[in-house]
Amino acid sequence: MLKLYDSPECPFCQKTRIVLAEKDLSYELVPVDLQAGEQKRPEFIKLNPFGKVPVLIDDEVIVYDSTIINEYLEDEYPHPQLMPSDSAARARVRTFEDYADNAFIPLTGTIMRELRKPEAERDQEKLTTSRQQVARMLAVIDGSLAGRNWLVGNFSLADVAFAPRIVILPALGVTVDPEWRNLASWIQRLNQRASVHDLTGLSAWRAA
Ligand SMILES: N[C@@H](CCC(=O)N[C@@H](CS)C(=O)NCC(=O)O)C(=O)O
């Protein structure tokens, strides 16, 4: 039985939940209260020495870091395929995922942290700059999507990595340039997938 240590709003946990849903895998969800510091307790540190969610347990196997978990799930449960077969395309998926994990998600996280504050306490300059930086990233993604439905070949781990934050862009106050038609239709396609559409932990941002 698969077990996922999870925090609902964590975009990295959301990446893994999308993959579990795409592969129609049943699993036990173990909520970790990050505010209470449960991820730094000795019993959790035994699972992940970095003290972070998500952690996946598959019988005896313990895997942490969403990107590694998602590749593990792909290796162990290969259907439906979420990684292309050829090396060049696989490298491209990993490049997109790295960009999502280390640039796109942290930047959208900065915006979310500001927006959680009472309006008077928000750093407006930081918000404006971060939104502009996200917009520049979106322009790049729009270019990458020219002539294709998904970032690399079929729907893949590359699309998964961006999905949790891409589908809440309106709530982040990021303006999507109407000229970015590839991006707009990709967002629509992402929202139509049950794995993304039914993703929990986003309700506050979807409704905003
Ligand atoms: N690179 C990791 C990042 C995981 C991560 O940053 N998780 C955050 C929640 S979104 C966390 O557990 N933070 C708790 C802490 O650092 O104490 C991954 O992809 O799994």
179 in the same domain as 94: yes
Q: Whose CA is nearest to atom 10 of ligand 1?
A: 10
Count how many domains the chain has: 2
Contact yes or no for 130/110 (Cβ under 8 A): yes
15 in the same domain as 65: yes
54 in the same domain as 15: yes
Judge whether 101 lies within some domain. Answer: yes
Question: Looking at 17, 45, 76, which one is the last position of a domain?
Answer: 76
Classify 27 as helix, strand or coil.
strand
65 in the same domain as 43: yes
Which atom of ligand 1 lies at the shortest distance from residue 52's CA?
12
Residue 10 appears among annotated catalytic residues: yes
Judge whether 208 lies within some domain. Answer: no
| The length of the chain, given as a count of residues | 208
Question: Burial code of 72-94, b = ≥16 C-beta within 10 A, e = fewer?
Answer: bbbeebeeeebbbeeeebbebbb
Q: Which residues, in sequence order, are CB contacts of 42 under 8 Å at separation 6+?
A: none
- Mutating to test ligand 1, I would choose from 4, 9, 12 the residue with most ligand atoms within 8 A of its C-beta, which is 12
Whole-number pLDDT of residue 137 = 97
Classify 1 as helix, strand or coil.
coil
Question: For ligand 1, which residues put their CB under 6 angstroms from it?
Answer: 7, 10, 12, 34, 39, 51-54, 65-67, 101
Whole-number pLDDT of residue 72 = 98
Residue 14: which CATH number?
Answer: 3.40.30.10
Whole-number pLDDT of residue 206 = 83
Whole-number pLDDT of residue 208 = 60
Whole-number pLDDT of residue 134 = 98
Whole-number pLDDT of residue 171 = 95
47 in the same domain as 71: yes
Over 90: is that where the pLDDT of 175 sits?
A: no
Question: Looking at 76, 110, 140, which one is the last position of a domain?
Answer: 76
Nearest of 124, 98, 97 to residue 18 by alpha carbon: 97
Whole-number pLDDT of residue 157 = 98
Q: Whose CA is nearest to atom 1 of ligand 1?
A: 65
> How many angstroms separate the alpha carbon of residue 207 from the centre of ligand 1?
25
Whole-number pLDDT of residue 155 = 98
Q: Whose CA is nearest to atom 11 of ligand 1?
A: 52
Q: Whose CA is nearest to atom 13 of ligand 1?
A: 52
For 76-98, what is each residue's pLDDT tens digit? 999 999 999 999 999 999 999 99
Question: Burial code of 145-175, b = ≥16 C-beta within 10 A, e = fewer?
Answer: beeeeebbbebbbbbbbbbbbbbbbebbebe
Which atom of ligand 1 lies at the shortest distance from residue 101's CA?
19
What sign results for the dihedral spanned by CA atoms 179, 181, 186, 191? positive
For 15-35, what is each residue's pLDDT tens digit? 999 999 999 999 999 999 999
> How many angstroms separate the alpha carbon of residue 100 from the centre of ligand 1?
14
144 in the same domain as 68: no
pTM summary value:
0.97
72 in the same domain as 16: yes
91 in the same domain as 49: no
Whole-number pLDDT of residue 176 = 86
Mean pLDDT of 144-173: 97
Over 70: is that where the pLDDT of 207 sits?
A: no
Domain around 15: 2-76
Residue 172: which CATH number?
Answer: 1.20.1050.10
> How many angstroms separate the alpha carbon of residue 181 from the centre of ligand 1?
32
